[in-house]
C-alpha cells in the first residue's frame, strides 16, 4: 500500500491510499479519483514524499565476529571443524 498527498483543482488537499503507483495512474486516467470536499476530478499529486506502509529500515545483519567474510560463510572464526 502507498499513500499519496493529493490536491484538487480548487486547492483542497487530501490523502488517498493505493495498492501501487500504477493504480493511482489508472484512477487518474479513468476519472474515478475525486476530491472528497468538492468532487473535482482534476486531482494531482501534491508535492510531498509518499510514505510506504511498514517501511521500517531493516538493521544490518549481525555477524559472529563482525568481519565482512562472516556474511558469506567464509569466516575463519566460525570454528566449524
Ligand atoms: Zn476540492
For the stretch 22-78, pLDDT in tens is 999 999 999 999 999 999 999 999 975 555 666 555 555 555 666 666 667 676 776
Q: What is the CA radius of gyration of the chain?
A: 23
Query: What is the CA(34)–ligand 1 centre distance, in A?
Result: 8
Q: Find all residues with CB under 8 Å of 15, minimum gap 6, and list them.
A: 3, 4, 5, 6
Query: What is the CA(30)–ligand 1 centre distance, in A?
Result: 18
Q: Is 67 part of any domain?
A: no
Query: What is the CA(5)–ligand 1 centre distance, in A?
Result: 13
CB 32 within 8 A of CB 14: no
Query: What is the CA(53)–ligand 1 centre distance, in A?
Result: 26
Reply yes or no on whether the pLDDT at 7 is more than 80. Answer: yes
Q: Is 23 part of any domain?
A: yes
Domain that holds residue 34: 1-47
**How far apart are the C-alpha atoms of 25 and 56, rounded to whole Å?**
26
> According to the model, what pLDDT value does residue 9 have?
94
The single-letter DSSP state of residue 25 is: H
**How far apart are the C-alpha atoms of 57 and 39, rounded to whole Å?**
37
Counting the structural domains of the chain, the total is 1
Check: pTM over 0.85? Answer yes or no: no
Amino acid at each position: 500500500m502507498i499513500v499519496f498527498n493529493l490536491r484538487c483543482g480548487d486547492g483542497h488537499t487530501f490523502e488517498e491510499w493505493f495498492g501501487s503507483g500504477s493504480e493511482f495512474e489508472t484512477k487518474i486516467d479513468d476519472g474515478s479519483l475525486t476530491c472528497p470536499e468538492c468532487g473535482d476530478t482534476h486531482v494531482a499529486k501534491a508535492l510531498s514524499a509518499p510514505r510506504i506502509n511498514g517501511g521500517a529500515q531493516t538493521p544490518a545483519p549481525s555477524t559472529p565476529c563482525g568481519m565482512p567474510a562472516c556474511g558469506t560463510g567464509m569466516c575463519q572464526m566460525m570454528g566449524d571443524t
